[in-house]
Amino acid sequence: MTLPEGVRRREFDGGEELATRGEPAYGEPVVDGWRRWDPHRSKLGATLELGLDTGLSGGDRVLYLGAANGTTVSHVADFAGPTYAVEFAPRPTRDLLSVAEARENLFPLLKDARKPETYAHVVESGLDAVVQDVATRGQADVALANRQFLREDGRFVGAVKARSEDVTADPGDVFDDVLDALREGYEVLATGRLEPYHDDHLAVVATPR
């Protein structure tokens, strides 16, 4: 499995679990400064746990879309470089702000990821990775709109939630449609279903084309 530098397997309660080193953020177990990264609570955690090659290597400059209260992005900021965290709901953003207080490389932005022009003046371009977990309709459009921030061979690492696009359709059909739409601006490098950690979610790794 290819893990970014700064993400390790550590022993927690008798089992080996993913972990990053940093300030605790949400009551997660910590052993010797290593914070357990639970794949059930994080699509990116599940993506790494399932062994997908994300291209994240550690120290990456990251734009994270759909940060919510900061559970996953707190781990990302532990192993990455500058990490811009976009979330449009004010309530989770309050928690995100306190997660960011303990991390000087984490920059929360109360913005709509469908409107990158509202944060393009703050977020640097030529980023190594866009990580996306927005779970709303139009997930491919959000990915395409934020492609502009990536360097030429950067990585899009996203989780697509089938039910956010169409609650009644077969998830496999939804994923095919989302991947077709993504290919307007990306080459898809790898995909993987996130079961058993997250039902009807597809992890996608892609690069701009």
What are φ and ψ of residue 57, in 5° steps?
A: -120, -10
* Structure-derived torsion over alpha carbons of residues 41, 88, 54, 9, reported in degrees to the nearest 10: -30
Q: Which stretch binds ligand SAM (CB under 6 A): 12-20, 49-57, 106-114, 173-181?
A: 106-114
The correct pick among 89, 102, 122, 169 for binding ligand SAM (CB under 6 A) is 89
DSSP string, 170-195: -HHHHHHHHHHHHTTTEEEEEEEE-T
Site for ligand SAM contains 71 (CB under 6 A): yes
Q: How far is the CB of 14 from ligand SAM (least distance, A)?
A: 25
Q: Which stretch binds ligand SAM (CB under 6 A): 134-142, 165-173, 177-185, 189-197?
A: 134-142
Which tokens is 198 given?
């997250």
CB 68 within 8 Å of CB 96: yes
Site for ligand SAM contains 49 (CB under 6 A): no
Which residue of the chain is nearest ligand SAM when measured via CB? 66
The correct pick among 21, 23, 97, 112 for binding ligand SAM (CB under 6 A) is 112
CB 65 within 8 Å of CB 131: yes
Tell which residue, 114, 167, 168, has the closest CA to residue 140.
Answer: 114
Binding site for ligand SAM (CB under 6 A): 42, 66-68, 71-72, 86-89, 92, 112-114, 133-136
